[in-house]
Amino acid sequence: MEKTIKKQKVATRKSGKETSNKIIQTCYDLLSSESYKDFSMRNIAKNANMRLANVQYYFPTRKDLIDALIVHVIALYHERYDSLELDEMSNPKLSFEKMIDINLNDVYNQKTRHFFIQFWPLLSEADNYSGEFLAKLYQHQIMTIGAYILKLCPEVSPQESRIRAEAIASLIEGLIVVRLKSDKEITEQSTIKNVMKSYILTLAMTPSNSDSAL
């Protein structure tokens, strides 16, 4: 009897996790193809083929759902970094370049670009433009970049590495905003990415005593 109860609890937890993940994935897919203005509990329930009450059972408020989506996005990038086994590489410069490549390639991924352009105003609106949600979204990326900067330049202080990481994250995200949709841009895509990577590497690897010149 006791074993049966334990199995039922495990099955319930597994089913609940799958449902929760389905709701979050629906949110991600919605922002990847539609407007942030369509991000309502009712619309998400409809897209997930669920009742509104079921969605609210897992995520009582819209803010709860947005917070979970932030965690989901952070996890996606963490998994992609882990899949490359960057921490196992003996060459910190190569591992840093591969991590930057992931982010620069995303700039030219239409689905990813659409997602973030819709996600930013949603986050700002959700926390009443305090910047709390945006800061949470980029905290992991900034910390990750900062950690690799310390590997590239051990003499750099943690504070300096964080400042450089914030600047690099801004360069990458800014490219999403200014990226144009034209045939010429498509042909220059590789050149733009190489130039950006060069700038990022220079910013990351500049000796500490040269910070005043940055």
Does residue 41 contact residue 56 with C-beta atoms inside 8 Å? yes
Phi-psi region of 152 (alpha: psi -120 to 50; beta: other; left: phi over 0): alpha
Q: Report the distance separating Cα 141 and Cα 144, nearest Å.
A: 5
Mean pLDDT of the residues in the chain = 86
For residue 212, what pLDDT band results from cuts at 50, 70 and 90?
Answer: very low
Higher pLDDT, 83 or 103: 103
- Residue 19 is predicted with a pLDDT of 94
Say what percent of the chain tops pLDDT 90. 65
* Mean pLDDT, residues 57-84: 93
More reliable by pLDDT, 127 or 83? 127
Q: What are the tens digits of pLDDT across the range 157-211?
A: 999 999 999 999 999 999 988 876 655 566 678 888 999 999 999 999 988 765 4
User: Looking at residues 58-78, what average pLDDT do you find?
Assistant: 95
Task: Name which residue leads in pLDDT, 19 or 208.
Answer: 19
- The predicted structure's pLDDT at residue 137: 95
Question: For the chain, what percent of residues have pLDDT higher than 70?
Answer: 85
Q: Report pLDDT digits (tens) over 136-149.
A: 999 999 999 999 99
